[in-house]
Amino acid sequence: MMFYAVIDTNVLVSALLNINSNPGIVLCSVFNGQTTPLINTDILAEYREVLARKKFHFPKETVDIILKRLENSSLKTEEIPAEFPEVSDPKDRCFFAVTMAARQTEEALLITGNIRHFPQQPFVVTPAQFVEMLHNRA
């Protein structure tokens, strides 16, 4: 079974900081074909902006490679549902909106380290919860 997931930026940052962490396992699940990332233009722009921040010291070449691999393996949607629950941080709106749009046809998840920023839903999971789902599926 393939997983479809919107990956919050904080998960991507944590994965690049420590590939052996739960967020790192999330990223590896994309690269090994277990997970299809769900993105749109806004999500990709946020990934690019955050990963380029000087405080992280991520080499530009590494960021470019990661983002290209994510983009090449992703399903893209610009279609946003007309109504869905509000999120506490306006920057997180696109992540939840893409998840809701994808859930119209797939069992999509939203993987985030900031679970409190989103409405409490069974499809909003932490990296640790997602890793458990990966193990239970195997």
Enter the pTM of the model.
Answer: 0.93
Report domain extents, the chain.
3-137
- Distance between CA atoms of residues 113 and 12, nearest Å: 10
C-alpha torsion 55→28→118→58, nearest 10: 10
pLDDT per position as a tens digit, 30-74:
999 999 999 999 999 999 999 999 999 999 999 999 999 999 999
Coil, strand, or helix at residue 23? helix
Q: What is the pLDDT of residue 83?
A: 63
Q: How confident is the model at residue 81 (pLDDT cuts 50, 70, 90)?
A: low
Q: How confident is the model at residue 28 (pLDDT cuts 50, 70, 90)?
A: very high
CATH class of the 3-137 domain in this structure: alpha beta
Q: What is the pLDDT of residue 91?
A: 81
* DSSP conformational letter for 24: H
